[in-house]
Structure 1
Amino acid sequence: MMIKKIVAVVAGILLTSVAVGLVQQLGHYLYPLPSGTDPNEPEAIKKYVENAPFMAIFFVIISYAVGALVGGFVSTKIANDGKKIYALIIGILFLFTSIYMMVTIPSPIWFWILGIAVWSLVLLGWKLALNKKNEH
């Protein structure tokens, strides 16, 4: 069913976005921007990233990892046909989004490496969804 496949990708995208957003909110809570920093001002964010504590930046990578797992898992469960294409679509979409963000906000090389590699975790989400399916 084509509709089920579309719903799988759309739900995966939405839940990936929610997961990334929630983890990043936690990061902002634990590592708030310095007072007076406007989060909508690109120059202020660039300056912050240059001097931010490691974990403040690493929370973004954690958010990507959680999002990738959620997206791969949810899309696979909804599609329910065992194919990894849904997870891959989500991973590629968010990979390009992450690259765009890294170009927009200058990031250290370690962030680039992890920020690209972490989206492969959609395949772990896919695999976990398959394993859960086989337990029943």
Structure 2
Amino acid sequence: MFRSILSVLGGAAVGVFTISLVQFLSHQLYPLPTNSNPNDPQAMATFMTNAPVAALLLVLLAYALGAFFGGMVAARYATARPVLHALLVGALLLVAGIANLVQIPHPLWFTVISLAIYLPMAFFGGMMSMRRMP
């Protein structure tokens, strides 16, 4: 039981780290305007409506990679039902993604894709982790 909890928490931590790393790289390519305040919801809403599509696609890539690697880690260290542990990581990241979507308005197409990306990518990560290597 304890190992299951640790595998899900570890997978979620790897997922959040991966998302943060890819988003950091995305911000290097597409920085916020110098006069904007990231803590101001109105300024962020304005930025999101005018953000380049490539920047939003990089954010979606971050979500996909985070869910994939987080699911992979959770499934790798789970003692039983590895795919279930991977899906739990995907569900935790989905809840965090919903909280982000509620706080900062995003385009509709981005919202739909981001909500649909976490669970399948965590599932694929869990399935890939089941291919154990010696």
Q: TM-score range by the shorter chain?
A: over 0.9
Equivalent position of 1:46 in the other structure: 45
Q: 1:40-74: per-residue Cα shift (whole Å, max 9, x none)?
A: 11111111001111111222111100101111100
Q: Distance in 2 between matches of 1:33 and 1:42?
A: 14
Q: In the TM superposition, what is the alpha-carbon distance from 1:105 to its structure 2 partner? A: 1.4
Q: Distance in 2 between matches of 1:117 and 1:42?
A: 24
Equivalent position of 1:111 in the other structure: 110
RMSD between superposed Cα atoms in Å: 1.3
Contact kept, 8 Å, 2:41 with 2:104, in 1: the verdict is yes
- Give the 5 Å matches for 1:15-34: 15-34=14-33
Runs of 4+ in structure 1 deviating by more than 6 angstroms, as ranges, are: none
Q: Distance in 2 between matches of 1:102 and 1:4?
A: 31
Equivalent position of 2:122 in the other structure: 122
Give the residue type in structure 1 aligned to 2:117: V
Q: Distance in 2 between matches of 1:30 and 1:88?
A: 31
What is the TM-score when the length of structure 1 is the normalising length?
A: 0.91
Q: In the TM superposition, what is the alpha-carbon distance from 1:80 to its structure 2 partner? A: 4.2
| Secondary structure of 2:95 counterpart | helix
- Give the 5 Å matches for 1:1-136: 2-119=1-118, 120-131=120-131, 133=132, 135-136=133-134
Unaligned runs of 5+ in 1: none
Q: Identity across aligned pairs (percent)?
A: 34
Q: Distance in 1 between matches of 2:84 and 2:31?
A: 37
Give the residue type in structure 2 aligned to 1:122: A
